[in-house]
């Protein structure tokens, strides 16, 4: 596994450089959005490689930070009305928001909220996925008792089913700032995620790079725990997919905001 991960890390660095260089020639907003989303995915996977291979928590956070900063820059630059499709720009696909939280870059995560779509993109995303991500943004940006968060949570209660029922439990515990309920909801969330991962491992067409990186480390779970702490909850979850290394206190300042444009530069020791 280690040798494969080392190859993955090298390939991810090469791919990130290629993606950044390709942005200079992009002329269509839809292509730019899709390219940035792919870039964020590669930064997320590179972060996991750094954690699994070397337990390098600084590089782990830096890569996730770069994902979030790249996405925030996109949010602030792109005119949604100029897009032919909202598919890649839906709020439910704002995974870099979770990357920022997992990196302890709360300022960037909070800054994404007003720039992200506040309306469900029917036909381009599932309503429950939209309401889940929008709730997380609203509770961070406006607080647990805000009208925005309350309305989004109420909408999620109406549409949540299956895997989303676990996420609903997480959201309800966050709004109530109930640490005990959060712990129980996270157990269900992680169990259901493990079932999904197991199913993916049995899929012959599954992405091997995903299975070696995003499957064993749950960035979403890390982000949820860190969001709970930001909201003042005392939670100490250690579970498969949420390693304690991911919660190591950062010693250095984050790289410059545009460091994502130079993936070949390392700011971590």
Determine the 3-state secondary structure of 185 from DSSP: helix
CA 227 to chain centre: 12
What pLDDT does residue 237 have?
Answer: 81
What pLDDT does residue 250 have?
Answer: 87
pLDDT along the chain (269 residues), means of 10: 84 97 95 97 98 95 97 96 94 98 98 97 96 98 96 94 87 97 95 94 95 97 97 88 91 93 75
Give the up-direction half-sphere exposure of residue 180: CA atoms within 13 A in the CB hemisphere.
Answer: 0
What is the rounded distance in angstroms from the CA atom of residue 203 to the CA atom of residue 199?
Answer: 7
Give the up-direction half-sphere exposure of residue 194: CA atoms within 13 A in the CB hemisphere.
Answer: 10
What pLDDT does residue 1 have?
Answer: 47
By CB neighbour count within 10 A (0-12 exposed, 13-18 middle, 19+ buried), where does 238 fall?
A: exposed
Q: Where do runs of H (alpha helix) occur along 121-259?
A: 127-142, 147-159, 163-176, 179-201, 208-212, 219-230
What pLDDT does residue 100 have?
Answer: 98
Rounded to whole angstroms, the maximal C-alpha distance in the chain is: 51
Helices 95-102, 127-142: crossing angle, 10 deg rounding: 40
**Cβ distance 33 to 74 under 8 Å?**
yes
What is the rounded distance in angstroms from the CA atom of residue 196 to the CA atom of residue 199?
Answer: 5
To which residue do tokens 């049995």 refer?
Answer: 202
Determine phi and psi for 15, rounding to 5 degrees.
Answer: -65, -40
What pLDDT does residue 163 have?
Answer: 67
The two structure tokens encoding residue 192: 């259901």
What pLDDT does residue 3 have?
Answer: 66
Give the up-direction half-sphere exposure of residue 167: CA atoms within 13 A in the CB hemisphere.
Answer: 22
**Cβ distance 157 to 168 under 8 Å?**
yes
To which residue do tokens 């300042």 refer?
Answer: 253
By CB neighbour count within 10 A (0-12 exposed, 13-18 middle, 19+ buried), where does 170 fall?
A: buried
What is the rounded distance in angstroms from the CA atom of residue 117 to the CA atom of residue 131?
Answer: 11
What is the rounded distance in angstroms from the CA atom of residue 8 to the CA atom of residue 245?
Answer: 21
């Amino acid at each position: 596994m280690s040798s494969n991960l080392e190859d993955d890390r090298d390939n991810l660095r090469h791919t990130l450089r290629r993606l950044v260089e390709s942005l200079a020639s992009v002329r269509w907003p839809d292509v730019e959005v899709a390219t940035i989303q792919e870039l964020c995915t590669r930064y997320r996977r590179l972060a996991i490689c750094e954690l699994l291979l070397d337990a390098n928590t600084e590089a782990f956070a830096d890569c996730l930070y770069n994902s979030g900063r790249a996405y925030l820059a996109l949010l602030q630059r792109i005119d949604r009305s100029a897009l032919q499709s909202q598919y890649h720009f839906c709020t439910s696909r704002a995974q870099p928001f979770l990357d920022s939280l997992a990196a302890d870059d709360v300022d960037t995560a909070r800054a994404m909220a007003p720039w992200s779509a506040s309306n469900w993109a029917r036909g381009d995303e599932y309503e429950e996925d939209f309401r889940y991500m929008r709730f997380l943004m609203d509770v961070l940006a406006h607080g647990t008792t805000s009208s925005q968060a309350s309305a989004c949570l109420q909408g999620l209660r109406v549409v949540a089913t299956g895997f989303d029922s676990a996420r609903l439990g997480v959201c309800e515990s966050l709004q109530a700032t109930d640490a005990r309920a959060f712990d129980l909801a996270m157990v269900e969330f992680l169990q259901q995620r493990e079932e999904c991962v197991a199913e993916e491992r049995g899929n012959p067409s599954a992405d091997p790079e995903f299975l070696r990186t995003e499957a064993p480390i749950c960035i979403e779970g890390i982000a949820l725990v860190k969001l709970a702490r930001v909201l003042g909850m005392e939670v100490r979850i250690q579970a498969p997919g949420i390693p304690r290394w991911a919660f190591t206190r950062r010693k250095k300042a984050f790289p410059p905001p545009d460091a994502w444009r130079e993936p070949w530069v390392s700011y971590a020791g």
